[in-house]
Amino acid sequence: MLRSLVAKPHSSQCFIFNLSQKLLHGNGAAQFRATRAFTPRSVAGVSPPSKAIVYEEHGQPDAVTKLVEFPGVEVKENDVCVKMLCAPINPSDINRIQGVYPVRPELPAVGGYEGVGEVYSVGSAVTSLSPGDWVIPSPPSFGTWQTYIVKDQSVWHKIDKGVPMEYSATITVNPLTALLMLEDGVTLSSGTALSAIPILYIILFWDAIVQNGATSMVGQCVIQLAKSRGIRSINIIRDRAGVDEVKETLKNLGADHVFTENELEVKNVKSLLNEIPEPALGFNCVGGNAASLVLKFLRQGGTMVTYGGMSKRPVTVPTSAFIFKELSLRGFWLQKWLSTEKAVESRRMIDKLLGLVHEGKLKYNMELAPFSDFNTSLDKALGKFGSQPKQVIKF
Ligand SMILES: NC(=O)c1ccc[n+]([C@@H]2O[C@H](COP(=O)([O-])OP(=O)(O)OC[C@H]3O[C@@H](n4cnc5c(N)ncnc54)[C@H](OP(=O)(O)O)[C@@H]3O)[C@@H](O)[C@H]2O)c1
Q: pLDDT tens digits, residue range 175-222?
A: 999 999 998 775 545 444 444 444 444 444 458 999 999 999 999 999
Distance from Cα 282 to the centre of ligand 1, integer Å: 15
SS3 40: helix
CA 148 vs. chain centroid, Å, equals 21
Which segments within 176-276 are labelled E, that is strand? 208-211, 232-237, 257-260
Distance from Cα 143 to the centre of ligand 1, integer Å: 21
Ligand 1 near 285 CB (within 6 A): yes
Portion of the chain with pLDDT greater than 70, in percent: 84
Per-residue pLDDT, 364 = 98
Q: What domains can you pick out in the chain, each with its CATH number?
A: 8-159+365-394 (3.90.180.10), 173-335 (3.40.50.720)
Pairing of strands 50-55, 366-370: unpaired
How many C-beta atoms lie closer than 10 Å to residue 187's C-beta? 14
Closest atom of ligand 1 relative to the 214 alpha carbon: 43
| Over residues 214-239, mean pLDDT | 96
How many C-beta atoms lie closer than 10 Å to residue 35's C-beta? 13
Nearest CA to ligand 1 atom 41: 387
* CA 169/CA 75 separation, integer angstroms: 23
251-308, pLDDT tens digit by residue?
Answer: 999 999 999 999 999 999 988 987 888 999 999 999 999 999 999 999 999 999 999 9
pLDDT exceeds cutoff 80 at 156: yes
Phi then psi for residue 252, to 5 deg, are -65, -25
Mutate to test the pocket of ligand 1, among 218, 304, 365 (most ligand atoms within 8 A of CB): 218
Distance from Cα 378 to the centre of ligand 1, integer Å: 15
Per-residue pLDDT, 207 = 84
Ligand 1 near 311 CB (within 6 A): yes
Which segments within 298-353 are labelled E, that is strand? 303-306, 328-331
| Over residues 351-361, mean pLDDT | 98
86-122, pLDDT tens digit by residue?
Answer: 999 999 999 999 999 999 999 999 999 999 999 999 9
Q: Which residues are catalytic?
A: 101
| Over residues 324-348, mean pLDDT | 95
Which residues, including other chains, have CB under 8 Å from residue 99's CB and lie 6 or more apart?
58, 59
Distance from Cα 87 to the centre of ligand 1, integer Å: 17
* CA 331/CA 306 separation, integer angstroms: 5
Pairing of strands 156-159, 232-237: unpaired
12-46, pLDDT tens digit by residue?
Answer: 333 344 455 555 565 433 333 333 333 333 345 99
In the predicted model, what is the mean pLDDT of the chain? 88
Mutate to test the pocket of ligand 1, among 167, 216, 260 (most ligand atoms within 8 A of CB): 216
pLDDT exceeds cutoff 80 at 362: yes
Ligand 1 near 21 CB (within 6 A): no
Ligand 1 near 382 CB (within 6 A): no
